[in-house]
Amino acid sequence: MMNLLITPDITVNELLNEYPQLEDKFIEIAPVFSKLKNPILRKTIARVTTLKQASVVGGVEIGELINKLRKAVGQDEEIVTQFKEEKESGKPNWVTVKTVKFEYDASIDINNGMHPVAKVTKEAEALKDDEIYILITPFIPAPLIDVIRNKGYETFTEERGTNVFATYISRK
Amino acid sequence: MSEIINNSKVRVEKLKQLILEIHEGKPIELAKEELTKMLGSIPYGEVVQAEQELIAGGMAAEEILKYCDLHSEALKGSINLSASKIVAEGHPVDTLIKENQSITKQIEAIRLFKRELQIEDLSKERLEVVILNIRGGLNSLMDIEKHYVRKENLIFPYLEKYEITGPPTVMWGKHDETRGFLKSSAKVFDTEEELSREDILSFYEFLFDQALISIEEMIYKEENILFPMCLDTLTEIDWYEIYSQSDSIGYCLYAPEVKWKPEIDLPKEDKSITSNRVQLSTGSFTLNELEAVFKSIPVDLTFVDKEDTVKYYSHGKERIFERNNAIIGRKVQFCHPPSSVHIVEKILSDFKAGIEDEAKFWINFKDKYVHIAYYAVRGSQGEYLGTLEVTQDVNQYKQLEGERRLLTYDK
């Protein structure tokens, strides 16, 4: 069982209470938050500010913030292991034989504060058995993958570049 | 170069002097005249500078606010409406723009109070006033929900009909971001602890300012991109449909004063509405009668539904507490001064839990002796349907003595 998953929706306090060692890392990524060392800020602001909001205030892309924080506590590896049973063998077979029906790059929407989960689940419903839906995101969308898998789809996520992840979604 | 700096200094001084004169009771009209003369040549930055210096010198933000209204009044007519077509008064876009003006005014007020926070030796009493005003401003901004919902539920579907999907999607995301910032901002105040000047300053800097900025950015996007695009795309019939459904969602910090008539033949007004009877268990009314009855009752009523949303208020001849249609659809928690909102919460939760059924207050207000009563409204099974506020001036009843058995008209 993984510790608290680092996502845009958790608050700065939730993050720092779970991973106190991340305080310096957080300030390094978003220097504007150097005042976090001040108990006042921890008491008032960190309690209510989500990581997504902090990224806006700090002028950092949300993907960069999430990936760096996950990496610092080894969570990126944990997620990758959890969502990639075929880690050794590269892409699973279905990814290579099925045809890509849609590709949706949600990076801009996510930076604009949108949650792609509703859109993705709706669009994935239109998939035929031999088709694939590709979702592009700035970090591994772990909670979304959970939702999709629980609906009976299989998924495979690969890193395409810095802060660019492609998640393949298909019916089992 | 030095000349320009001096001029700027002179202008700021002049502005400060003018504000002070208003403060000391100079007739507004006179000041307005001088201000109008000056404004053409005064950069807005200097106005801000003058306000800043006055606040640093110990003037209260409320005083400056008086002048702010004047300032925008003097500017009236010189502001370019950015909508590509000039819209008629009462048109849905006109209403959205007027709401934006109210929102902008609210943001300006908040920023003025925030400037007082920068005074290091601010007195404790003054700090309390400033915090209450900032919270009050935040409460007012919560009304923005109605502005956004009208866009999302009424305007965006029509754009989608014409296959314009990009801007609505992006805007909806931005709405949610702003909602998040406002929600987080409100949470800062759910604490028993007393907030210090530094607390509020950090709150402003790291959270609230971002909420204000994202609201302002949205206003800019609406007036420069969305509204012109909608005016170019939607037909008069589309607008009429939007207009007809707007009332049910409600308005933000502003209530439309003029009925808008589209330039199309409207379907004949449905006569059935006047003959439609509302059947109750002990009789019936036509809608006209019902409306008139509520108007003639000598008490002011306000009804809040079980979701704590203001649904109805009656408007008699002399309402004690001013209300207008902007209040419809607002959460009751945001209609009260922050200092008394905990009392509202307590009453509602006791009503909902079925512990209590009424709560009464009486206060001196202006020249009236006002009785305010809250009643839990329950359905036939005792289930909570909402709360009715009944307000009246009870001076006339307090003064009664003896009897009056003969017809006498009170003048």
The tens digit of pLDDT for each residue in B237-257 reads 999 999 998 988 899 999 998
**pLDDT digit string, tens, across residues A109-128:** 888 777 788 888 888 888 99
Interchain pair A44, B181: CB under 8 A: no
Radius of gyration (C-alpha) of chain A in whole angstroms: 17
Give residue B34's pLDDT: 76
**pLDDT digit string, tens, across residues A131-149:** 999 999 999 888 888 889 8
Give residue B84's pLDDT: 42
Nearest to A112 among B170, B185, B198 (CB): B170
Burial string for A143-157 (b: 16+ CB within 10 Å, else e) reads ebbeebeeeebebbb
Closest chain B CA to residue A106: B170
Q: How confident is the model at residue B276 (pLDDT cuts 50, 70, 90)?
A: confident
Q: How confident is the model at residue B83 (pLDDT cuts 50, 70, 90)?
A: very low
Nearest to B180 among A32, A33, A53 (CB): A53
Angle at A37 (CA atoms; ends A33, A38), nearest 5 degrees: 100
What is the distance in angstroms between the Cα of A94 and the nearest Cα belonging to chain B? 32
- Name every chain A residue with its beta carbon within 8 A of the beta carbon of B207: 45, 48-49, 53, 57
Q: What is the mean pLDDT of chain B?
A: 84
Question: How much is the average pLDDT of A28-55?
Answer: 85
What is the distance in angstroms between the Cα of B340 and the nearest Cα belonging to chain A? 22
Interface of A with B (CB under 8 A): 32-33, 35, 38, 40-41, 43-45, 47-50, 52-53, 56-57, 108-109, 112-115
Percent of chain A at pLDDT exceeding 90: 33
Q: What CA–CA distance (Å, rounded) separates B189 from A21?
A: 28
Burial (CB count <10 Å: 0-12, 13-18, 19+), residue A120? buried
Say yes or no to pLDDT of A156 above 60.
yes
**pLDDT digit string, tens, across residues B164-190:** 877 787 788 889 889 999 999 998 888
- Name every chain A residue with its beta carbon within 8 A of the beta carbon of B199: 40, 43-44
What is the distance in angstroms between the Cα of B169 and the nearest Cα belonging to chain A? 8
Burial (CB count <10 Å: 0-12, 13-18, 19+), residue A3? exposed
Q: Indicate the length of chain B as a whole number.
A: 411
Closest chain B CA to residue A52: B177
Q: What is the pTM of this model?
A: 0.73
For residue B268, count other CB atoms closer than 10 A to its CB: 6
Structure tokens at B357: 């059924």
In this structure, are residues A52 and A116 in contact, taking their beta carbons and an 8 Å threshold? no
Backbone angles phi, psi at B274, to 5 degrees: -85, -25
Burial string for A69-105 (b: 16+ CB within 10 Å, else e) reads bbebbebbeebbeebbeeeeeeebeebeebeebeebe
Best residue in A12, A32, A53, A117 for a mutation probing chain B (most B CBs within 10 Å): A53
Tally C-beta pairs within 8 A across A and B.
68
Percent of chain B at pLDDT exceeding 70: 88
Say yes or no to pLDDT of B351 above 90.
yes
Q: How confident is the model at residue A160 (pLDDT cuts 50, 70, 90)?
A: confident
Going by C-alpha positions, the residue among B54, B43, B52, B60 that lies closest to residue B18 is: B54
**Looking at the complex, does the CB of residue B367 fall below 8 Å from at least one CB of chain A?**
no
Give residue B326's pLDDT: 75
**Looking at the complex, does the CB of residue B199 fall below 8 Å from at least one CB of chain A?**
yes
Closest chain B CA to residue A39: B199
Q: How confident is the model at residue B6 (pLDDT cuts 50, 70, 90)?
A: low
- Name every chain A residue with its beta carbon within 8 A of the beta carbon of B170: 108-109, 112
Give residue B182's pLDDT: 95
**pLDDT digit string, tens, across residues B194-241:** 888 988 998 998 899 999 999 999 998 898 888 988 998 999 999 999
Q: How confident is the model at residue B94 (pLDDT cuts 50, 70, 90)?
A: very high
Question: How much is the average pLDDT of B272-280?
Answer: 70
What is the distance in angstroms between the Cα of A44 and the nearest Cα belonging to chain B? 6
Give residue B33's pLDDT: 75
**pLDDT digit string, tens, across residues B141-167:** 999 999 999 999 899 988 888 888 777
**pLDDT digit string, tens, across residues B16-73:** 887 788 777 777 677 777 776 766 556 666 777 777 788 888 888 877 776 666 665 5
Q: How confident is the model at residue B410 (pLDDT cuts 50, 70, 90)?
A: confident
Closest chain A CA to residue B172: A114
Nearest to B206 among A49, A108, A115 (CB): A49
Say yes or no to pLDDT of B80 above 60.
no
Nearest to B177 among A32, A33, A113 (CB): A113
Question: How much is the average pLDDT of B343-363?
Answer: 93
- Restricting to B residues 212-241, those with a Cβ less than 8 Å away from any Cβ of A are 214
Nearest to A109 among B173, B188, B191 (CB): B173
Q: What is the mean pLDDT of chain A?
A: 85
**Looking at the complex, does the CB of residue B172 fall below 8 Å from at least one CB of chain A?**
yes
